Structure 1
Amino acid sequence: MTTARFTPVVTADDQATLARMASDIWHEYWPAIIGEAQTDYMVSHFQSLQAIQTDMADNGYEYWFIEDANGTALGYTGGHAEAETNRFFISKIYLAAHARGKHLCSQTIRFYDELCRERGLSAMYLTVNKHNELGVRAYQGNDFRVTECVVTDIGNGFVMDDYIMERPVSA
């Protein structure tokens, strides 16, 4: 099993590296599920350098590279705390193809569990595409439960057809 470490995205160079990684991972994984056109649209609107910079500067998002012990980036994750709900919204957990199936999602959830405990948050939640069977299984295996099904219009004729899944923070 690969042991993950989580390195904060801090600098402009980090943000640019993250945006390139996001594009690569998204274009490798998502076209089979949502099609090439929606993948391109979502990368440009939600995973681009501008989107990452706006999330961090204006929306309280934090991002981390998911790395192996040698500092090789295997993926990325990000989200933000919601004071009004006392939860952490995990917006992104994305892994490169060669890093999937190595329990890195579970390690990422444990990372968030610790982060939430340190910050006094009671739960974490995320959205996952209903057709992303790998993701749904990974989250269910980490004690997330479906709390809602939502279809969100994201523009340009595209929708996100998601489960909202939540998990309490470990004691």
Structure 2
Amino acid sequence: MDLILEAAVTEQQYEKLAAMASSIWNECYSSLLTPSQIEYMLARFQSAEAIQEQIEQQGYRYYFIVANGQKVGYTALKIEFQALFLSKLYIQSKVRGKGYSKLVIGKLVEIANQAKLKSIWLTVNRYNEAAIAAYKRSGFVITDEKVTDIGNGYVMDDYIMELALV
């Protein structure tokens, strides 16, 4: 299977990422969050403007996940201290279950190892059982819990998961 990470570096790509995020989030989180919270979070964290700011001001890197020439999802990461923070990993519903997430994590392990980092960590909605199970299959373990106030009366109720790299 041919899978690559294609860096998003232009405003046009940020627009495409935001559109993909809207589609995936509305499907993925409809059973976990209210429509108004999904809309709020998309506007705050996954609009084209928010993505551009994260890349240009906060050190994030965004990538389209491209499998066999088709964009099937996206991922975002940031190197912090001795770890790689996996901020986003989303696969379109029509292609979930094909092993793409595990392949992406393998590529992120390569990035982390090249940078001589000690771990990869992420936050995941504590009620997103499918995502938690997928991360566990890739070797992540739950290390903590975190509730984050994101404004407008909303919180993110997450597990922190980590993959130790040796």
Provide the residue aligned with 1:102 in structure 2: 98
After TM superposition, list the pairs within 5 Å mapping 1:1-171 onto structure 2.
2-70=1-69, 72-83=70-81, 86-169=82-165, 171=166
SS in structure 1 at match of 2:32: helix
Give the length in aligned residue pairs: 166
Report the alpha carbon displacement of residue 146 of structure 1 after superposing the two structures with TM: 0.7
Q: Distance in 2 between matches of 1:149 and 1:138?
A: 18
Report the alpha carbon displacement of residue 3 of structure 1 after superposing the two structures with TM: 3.8
| Contact 1:130/1:163 (<8 A) preserved | yes
Report the alpha carbon displacement of residue 138 of structure 1 after superposing the two structures with TM: 0.3
Percent of aligned pairs sharing the same letter: 38
Q: Distance in 2 between matches of 1:95 and 1:77?
A: 9
Question: Which TM-score applies when normalising by structure 2?
Answer: 0.96
Please list every run of 5 or more consecutive structure 2 residues that lacks an aligned counterpart in the other structure.
none
Question: Which TM-score applies when normalising by structure 1?
Answer: 0.94
Deviations 1:54-95 (Å, cap 9, x if unpaired)?
10011000011001122x110000010012xx0000000011
Please list every run of 5 or more consecutive structure 1 residues that lacks an aligned counterpart in the other structure.
none
Q: Which moved more, 1:73-82 or 1:6-15?
A: 6-15
Q: CA RMSD in A?
A: 1.0
SS in structure 2 at match of 1:32: coil
Q: Which moved more, 1:29-38 or 1:54-63?
A: 29-38
Deviations 1:124-161 (Å, cap 9, x if unpaired)?
00000011011000001111011101111111111111
4+ residue segments displaced more than 3 Å: none
Q: Distance in 1 between matches of 2:42 and 2:140?
A: 26
Q: Distance in 1 between matches of 2:150 and 2:58?
A: 18
Q: Distance in 2 between matches of 1:29 and 1:129?
A: 11
